[in-house]
Amino acid sequence: MKIAHRILMLLAMSALAIVFVTPLLFMVASSFKSEDAIFSNIASLSAYMPSESWSLDNYREIFSRSQLPSFLLNSAIIASSVVVGGVLLNSMLAFALCRLRWGGRQAVLAFVVALLVVPFEVIAIPLLSLVARLPWPAIEHGALTLQTGWFNSLHVQIIPFLANAFCVFLFYQFFRDIPQELDEAAKMDGAGPWTLYWRIIMPNSGPVIATAAIVLFIAAWNQYLWPIMVVQGTGARPVQPGIQQFFGRSESWGQIMAYATVVTLPVLAVFLAFQRQFVASVVGSGIKG
């Protein structure tokens, strides 16, 4: 029975792997082909591997015909800022909820959990109205002034997404499993809350930090609705709205697949780099998929 169960699990996981990997293989393979080569063998297995006449022409075209390098740089800045700031901010809140004792802690935790079921579309319009009124320092004619509105900037795509309810809950669940005896021993040596957080909790939270980094990076990298709402120019535009702009300029499916491949590779690289920590965090925090 155990052998049969393992075989069935292996078959099920293999089937799921084929379902998820096949579109990626087709996308990458098509990015090296011409328009005719993509559709000439689309019904055969050769559609999922580069052809004999493969080339980098599609990649040369997307970098020469679009502002992809600028879009990639903007998305890299946004995603890295959200990851670094989000890990610090969400872990601090989770530490305060889990390891400190203060009035209203349970109410705040309940509010964070309630936010898990609120989609971004619900708060998009109120958030847009808020950032339209917020001031931001700017230099005009050599003088520092405050301008109203955060539109057409990178910070409008970073600051609203630093706090993440799911990441707070993820950190909270992981911090609960860290023995309280570590806190007590550190307090006996005169450690305060900041020392407990920075010297005790965070060094023992590598798996959940990696998981939160993956979650925040993917969310920031895949931003589409919000940049369309707050960014009208191309100076602060990230890669996802840039895809829509490129689709309107090119009808070549080879170039479209090349663009999609370039945009997808950073997400795959980040996940593959932290996949072991991600699995360890999911198992350690008691979250079942």
106-141, pLDDT tens digit by residue? 999 999 999 999 999 999 999 999 999 999 988 777
**pLDDT over threshold 90, residue 75:** yes
**pLDDT over threshold 80, residue 186:** yes
**CA nearest neighbour of 88 among 197, 183, 5:** 197
| Residue 152: burial class (beta carbons within 10 Å; 0-12, 13-18, 19+) | middle
pLDDT score for 226? 95
**Average pLDDT value for residue range 162-168:** 95
26-36 burial string, b = 16+ CB within 10 Å, else e?
Answer: bbbbbbbbbee
The phi, psi pair for 267, rounded to 5°, reads -65, -45
CATH topology of domain 65-284: MetI-like fold (1.10.3720)
Question: Is the pLDDT higher at 247 or at 186?
Answer: 186
Of 161-175, 237-251, 272-286, the least confident = 272-286
pLDDT score for 289? 37
The set of long-range contacts for 45-53, using a CB threshold of 8 Å and a minimum separation of 24, is 48/22, 49/25
Question: 144 in helix, strand or coil?
Answer: strand
Residue 281 pLDDT level (bands cut at 50, 70, 90): low
**Average pLDDT value for residue range 261-271:** 89
**Average pLDDT value for residue range 238-248:** 83
* Domain spans of the chain, in order of start: 1-55, 65-284
Chain mean position to CA 108 = 25
pLDDT score for 218? 93
- DSSP state letters, 152-221: SSSGGGTGGGS--HHHHHHHHHHHHTS-HHHHHHHHHTT--HHHIIIIIIGGG-HHHHHHHHHHHHHHHH
**pLDDT over threshold 60, residue 224:** yes
